[in-house]
Structure 1
Amino acid sequence: MEIVQSLLEKMGDLGKPGVKVMMTLFATILITCGKVNFTNLSRYSTLSEKTYRRQFHRQFDFAVFNAEVIKAATSIHHPMIAVMDCSFIAKSGKKTFGLDLFYNGSHNRVETGLEVSLVAIVDVETEISYALLAEQTFDQGFCPDLTRMDYYLHHLEITQPQLPKQVRYLAVDGAYAKEPFVTGVAALNLDVISKLRRDAGKAVE
């Protein structure tokens, strides 16, 4: 935790109170039973629910922070690749932001719920992966002019500046192997490793 604290202080925009809240948050998440929400976090720590809510109204660049953690935990001499995938989150109700139809790989079908997209780094030498940035996928009605691939590509674009310098490849499953996504990844100076679909032919011509 000393490394985490030094990295938070290095970011410089939190101040001592903010660093204390984030340190408490990271430690409390590891011991909290049940859902990780403001109410439950306050039960397992010395901070109030109001304090957590107030801190979460502030901007925090997780990509920069996670990139620094990865830099401290890995060697620049190890080969690394970027990986990207989505996870389905079951959610009932009708008012939750981002609620839409998403593919649930556990059931091999499309279901109503939420989706989180993750870009991570894999140290090829140690075979250990490190999360870099997670983003919730917007529902299609939020911006109907953008496709899901547009959202995924945007997620990769905002993460790309924090990728380790030795990263040259992005590994994704076949769902991402579509021409606009593969072309967009190439524009970011990355090569895609994937099982190509029939409609990805234009990207490899």
Structure 2
Amino acid sequence: SRFILAIDASFIPKSGKKTEGLGAFWNGSASRSDTGLELSCLALISLTGQHAFPLDIRQTRPKQDRADRLEQYLEQLKDVFTQRLAGLSGQLRAVVADGQYAKKMFMDAVHAEQI
């Protein structure tokens, strides 16, 4: 099979005050920042079988600025490249993500993997 690697973050609404990782994150459903949790997921999508295989899901740590979140996503992407994708050499065709990831640091990381 050949695969595409997809990355995206998901918002989980949460109103508790003592939940670990609680912070203000973008809630795409409401088109605004809300209090809750965020999970970043990387998944392989099969080009032939139309299946998705989650590889890595991490809770985003809340911080004061957006740049820190992007660094967390980049760290996750690099970890997946080095730890989980060694067996897929030559089978990974593309990395797909929304515009939030269209930053030089992400493009450099993907380019370094020769995808």
TM-score range, shorter chain: 0.7 to 0.9
Shift of 1:111: 0.9
| Structure 1 residue corresponding to 2:95, chosen from 158, 170, 186 | 170
Distance in 1 of aligned mates of 2:10 and 2:50? 21
Judge conservation of contact 1:168–1:190 (CA < 8 Å) in 2: no
**In the alignment, is the contact (CA less than 8 A) between 2:2 and 2:93 conserved in 1?**
no
Q: Is the 8 A contact 1:118 1:132 kept in 2?
A: yes
5+ residue gaps, structure 1, are: 1-77, 192-205
Q: Count the aligned residue pairs.
A: 110
Q: Which has the larger share of helix? A: 1
Q: Give me the whole-angstrom Cα distance separating, in 2, the residues matched to 1:127 and 1:85.
A: 18
Counterpart residue type for residue 158 of structure 1: D
Which one has more relative contact order, counting CA pairs under 8 Å at least 6 apart? 2
Confirm whether residue 157 of structure 1 aligns to residue 78 of structure 2: yes
For residue 123 of structure 1, the aligned residue among 46, 65, 69 is 46
Q: Deviations over 1:120-178 (max 9, x none)?
A: 0000011111111100001115xx7x611100010111111312221142110111112
Q: Secondary structure at the match of 2:8?
A: strand
Q: CA 1:148–1:190 in 2, change beyond 3 Å: closer, same or farther?
A: farther
Superposed CA RMSD? 1.7
Unpaired runs of 5+ residues, structure 2, are none
Higher Cα radius of gyration: 1
Q: Percent identity?
A: 38
User: Match of 1:148, SS?
Assistant: helix
Report the Cα offset of residue 100 of structure 1.
Answer: 1.3
Aligned to 2:57: 134
1:116 and 1:150 map into 2 onto residues whose CA distance is 14
CA distance in 2, matches of 1:180, 1:157: 11
Per-residue Cα deviation, 1:98-123 (whole angstroms, up to 9, x for no partner): 11111111111111110000000000
Counterpart contact for 1:119–1:156, Cα < 8 Å = yes
Higher strand share: 2
3-state DSSP class of the match of 1:182? helix
